[in-house]
Structure 1
């Protein structure tokens, strides 16, 4: 049932390794172009995930074009000697390039931004009062609206969170390879990945643990297991739209908690 990311297929992995060595040694434009072609499926994958939360007037082909710049940047800066897969490193770069271009065209209406800020303020107030994550009903009551209206706002607000959690960990040079998946224990994770950006990942993991069970499940399935929103809806027995709302609320809460930590340091 799960729609997984298609890994880059190559006829001979040794040839790709040699291609990396050639490019890093000679900076050959031909070697770089061949690497771009080899890893181009990553761009389509990331663009598709970003596009799922955008309005219909955003052309998916534009997202792919934006993402290519991120792929090129990833190829230029990647160190093959590090104990990390290129795909893991590149996804954050590709997504970051797409988000930067979308922000540059300022496509999110001011009214949506204002609604997002009002929800964030309500979350902060209720968490301080309740010492836990507020329910949808409590959040709606604080805002003086119905739960349905809150759901509509969260659906709109998702446009503001298209970078979602990966952006939190990839917004600086020290977070090149970070994703939410890196903050979730994985038996296959090597020691380099475990300790890289440890502070940020620990903070994110702690923030995730403070969420409700449903929010944690949505984040884990979406970021770690690569389920689509529709597939998560099938698991939870709710609509894709409802999963979108749960995801948006969870991301807003995590951003607020991490931002609060940053402001205190």
Structure 2
């Protein structure tokens, strides 16, 4: 984030909160702009290559402006946490409004899913991406990336858009009371988590590391590449391969 001292930042916040000083607002936007780039990198990891990152940055910037307008310092919440919620929400809402998954990808997904079903019925087991690729005269990478993009599209379509009111906002930040979960829900959750853990164990060492760094440590693909000494595109391939292997259990968990 922009390198300004805590006292300078507080001065900008005072000018912005009490006087809506445009210059102070611009300084705060510059300071928190890296949050926009961070969320764009993470979300774009599962999007088709035809998606323009500049458009995602514009959506994220709208979320950052929205956060500045609505942030209440009296609440027990850090601005970067609140801004992250608004930025990510703005990007996802923008994606929901557009049919960003190309028709060719949707058609390819149907062919892959049909091939998977056919081969699994034939062999009575889970089939590999290579077997699916051979069946359809595709490359393995093509199968991985297509299913990765399709999986994200399905998750996105099921995700509820954030409502623009205070009550919904508070619900988003509230921690769900575990006591409110029924015994049946708790049992199902535990079972799915155990299944997910077993699937992760079957991933290669590199795949496990990428999944851990991306979802647990919340690093971007570029940052993971720097740690592992691999290119961002190679990390993207490893991520897509892991998601393909975990897709069935993830569909149940999500």
Do both share a fold (TM > 0.5)? yes
Is 1:41 the equivalent of 2:34? yes
| CA deviation vs aligned residue, 1:147-186 (integer Å, no higher than 9, x gap) | 9756422212333456898999995546746xxxxxxxxx
Where does residue 86 of structure 2 map in the other structure? 93
| CA deviation vs aligned residue, 1:80-106 (integer Å, no higher than 9, x gap) | 455554333323432332233234331
Instruction: Trace 1:1-265 onto structure 2 (pairs within 5 A).
Output: 8-20=1-13, 23-24=16-17, 26=18, 28=20, 30=22, 31-116=24-109, 119=113, 137=128, 145=135, 151-160=141-150, 172=162, 173=169, 176=172, 196-197=175-176, 206=193, 208-213=196-201, 214=203, 216-225=208-217, 226-228=219-221, 230-231=225-226, 234=229, 239-240=234-235, 242-249=237-244, 252-253=247-248, 255-259=250-254
Give the 3-state SS of the residue equivalent to 1:212 in structure 2.
helix
Give the deviation of 1:49 after TM superposition: 3.7
Give the deviation of 1:197 after TM superposition: 4.0
The alpha-carbon distance between structure 1 residues 251 and 63, as it changes in their structure 2 partners (threshold 3 A), is farther
Give the deviation of 1:210 after TM superposition: 4.6
Point out where structure 1 has 5 or more consecutive residues left out of the alignment. 1-7, 178-194, 260-265
Give the 3-state SS of the residue equivalent to 1:211 in structure 2.
helix
Point out where structure 2 has 5 or more consecutive residues left out of the alignment. 163-168
The alpha-carbon distance between structure 1 residues 95 and 233, as it changes in their structure 2 partners (threshold 3 A), is same
On the 8 A contact 1:92/1:167 being kept in 2, the answer is: no
Distance 1:165 1:17 in 2: 39
The alpha-carbon distance between structure 1 residues 80 and 51, as it changes in their structure 2 partners (threshold 3 A), is same
Distance 2:138 2:177 in 1: 39
The alpha-carbon distance between structure 1 residues 119 and 198, as it changes in their structure 2 partners (threshold 3 A), is farther
Aligned residues between the structures: 222
Give the 3-state SS of the residue equivalent to 2:199 in structure 1.
coil
Distance 1:16 1:250 in 2: 46
Give the deviation of 1:65 after TM superposition: 1.1
The alpha-carbon distance between structure 1 residues 167 and 16, as it changes in their structure 2 partners (threshold 3 A), is farther
TM-score, normalised to structure 1's length? 0.58
The alpha-carbon distance between structure 1 residues 162 and 76, as it changes in their structure 2 partners (threshold 3 A), is farther
Distance 2:245 2:176 in 1: 22
Give the deviation of 1:198 after TM superposition: 6.2
